[in-house]
Structure 1
């Protein structure tokens, strides 16, 4: 899956957290802004209350269940700035999208 395909899937399913703005920062692979305030998914690097930094390769491994989220967080491969609870909510939302 490409970042664009992932963004399109989020858009199709209105996959945001109401009232919350989160940013997925994939480093050199760009960002996704999951904006539950304006109810949209964007690819611009805008401010967000919660920012999750992870490489695209690690994101794919996490999405496929090959990388444990807690291990990724503890090892620094996944970093969260802001509301950790919102980041965890986002993880639950993504799990529901997979099923």
Structure 2
């Protein structure tokens, strides 16, 4: 099973970010992934972002594998959003770039 560092490397290799925008995945105690479209990087830096998605790392893995519907996950509280909802909606194109 892919761990945080592996997932970050996969996302970085596939340039899984939205150009000019900063989005953070917050996995609580498991860490963060920052998709920094301003610097064109993907890191584990816990820095400010326009949009933050909070979820468990296991739910993120299920989402990336297509086993968790993002709309249902949001509606049932498995994903919590802080910030720009429109920007979060662009993440489907980002997650399509990665295969875990």
- The aligned residue for residue 9 of structure 1 is 10
What is the 5 A alignment of 1:1-99? 1-98=2-99
Structure 1: gaps spanning 5 or more residues = none
The 2-side partners of 1:35 and 1:75 are apart by 28
Structure 2: gaps spanning 5 or more residues = none
- Please, what TM-score do these two structures have when normalized by structure 1? 0.90
Q: What's the C-alpha RMSD, in Å, of the aligned pairs? A: 1.2
Q: Deviations over 1:26-62 (max 9, x none)?
A: 1111001100011111111111000000100111111
- Please, what TM-score do these two structures have when normalized by structure 2? 0.90
Structure 1 runs of 4+ off > 6 angstroms?
none
Q: Work out the number of aligned pairs and report it.
A: 98
Larger helix proportion of the pair: 1
Per-residue deviation, 1:97: 3.4
Compare relative contact order (CA 8 Å, sep 6+) and give the higher one, 1 or 2.
2
